[in-house]
Amino acid sequence: MSSRFYTTSIDTENGTARLEESEAHHLLHVMRLKTGSEVHLFDGNGNAWRAFLTGTSRRSAELRLEEQIAKASLPTREIVLAVAPPKGDRFRWLVEKATELGVSAIQPLKTERSVVDPGAGKIDKLRQTMIAACKQCGRNQLMTFAQQQTWEECIQEYTASHHLLIAHPHGHNLREAFIGVEPTRSLLIAIGPEGGFTEEEVSLALNAGAAPISLGQNILRTETAAITCAAMATLA
C-alpha cells in the first residue's frame, strides 16, 4: 500500500503538488522515499490522488499527480461530538479515535464543571493528531475542530440543524437513541466533564428538545463515553 500524505498545495491544472514542513519531513527523513516513488495525497476536503515523487530539497518535496482516486462528497449525516475537553493526553486520544470513526466535527464545550480550556498551541497539536489519524485510517476529510463554546451557545447554534443527544445517567438506553431518527438527520452528541453536566445545563438541553441517553450503569470517562456514542452513531 502506498504511503499517504496530507497537503493543500495541489495544482490540479498543472498536475503538480508540494509537501512542506512536517509532511515533507515524514516523506524525506522517516519514510526515506526516493524520486519516482508512488504515494497517495489527500487535501483534507475529501479529495485524494495517486502521485509520484519528482524532486526533493531539505524541507520540501515536489510531486506529479497521476490520477484522482477520490472526490469530495457530502456525508450521509453529520456527527458532531460536543465535549468538555478531558485532561492531559486523553483529549488527544479522543480526537484520534473520533477521526477513525468518521466523526464530522469536535465542538469543545465550556461548562460549569469544565477544567480544561484548550489553547491555540494545544489545538494545533490536536490538528496534527487528526492528520496522522487520517493518514493511518484512509480518511480523506479532516474533522472540523470548532472554537470552544459555552453550553448555551452550543445549543443555540445546533438546535435547528441537528438532533441533540445528551449523556445523562437517567437517560434512555443508547442502543435505542437512534430509533426513529432519519438516517440523514445530523446529530450532536453532548458529553459533559468528569463531574457531569449540572442540573441547570441538563434542563437547558431538555427544554431545547435534546434526548437524554444513558451509557449503562458504570461511570465512564469523558473520552470513553464520547467514543462509545460516536461508534453507535456511525453504525445507526
For the chain, give every domain's residue range. 3-70, 79-235
Q: What is the mean pLDDT of residues 9-20?
A: 97
**DSSP SS3 for 144:** strand
Is the domain 79-235 a CATH 3.40.1280.10 member? Answer: yes
Q: What is the mean pLDDT of residues 23-42?
A: 95
Q: What is the mean pLDDT of residues 204-233?
A: 93
pLDDT of residue 180: 81
In this structure, of 103-107, 114-118, 130-134, the range with the lowest mean pLDDT score is 114-118
Mean pLDDT rounded to a whole number for the chain: 93
In this structure, of 53-57, 105-109, 151-155, 177-181, the range with the lowest mean pLDDT score is 177-181
In terms of pLDDT, which residue wins out, 170 or 128? 128
Q: What is the mean pLDDT of residues 25-31?
A: 94
**Which cell numbers hold the place of 181?**
431518527
**How open is the CA angle 227-183-201, to the nearest 5 degrees?**
50
The number of CA neighbours under 13 Å toward the Cβ of 87 is: 5
**DSSP SS3 for 59:** coil
In terms of pLDDT, which residue wins out, 65 or 217? 65
| H or E element, residue 176 | none
**Which cell numbers hold the place of 182?**
432519519
Q: What is the mean pLDDT of residues 42-55?
A: 97
Please check the confidence at residue 60 and state whether its pLDDT lies above 90: yes
Please check the confidence at residue 75 and state whether its pLDDT lies above 80: no
In terms of pLDDT, which residue wins out, 116 or 169? 169
Count helices and strands in the chain by DSSP H and E runs: 6, 13
Please check the confidence at residue 229 and state whether its pLDDT lies above 80: yes
Please check the confidence at residue 74 and state whether its pLDDT lies above 80: no
| Distance in angstroms (rounded) separating the CA atoms of residues 75 and 31 | 32
For the domain bounded by 3-70, which CATH number is listed?
Answer: 2.40.240.20
Please check the confidence at residue 105 and state whether its pLDDT lies above 80: yes
pLDDT of residue 108: 95
Amino acid sitting at position 158: Y
Closest CA to 171 of 153, 157, 147, 190: 190
pLDDT of residue 181: 86
In terms of pLDDT, which residue wins out, 37 or 217? 37
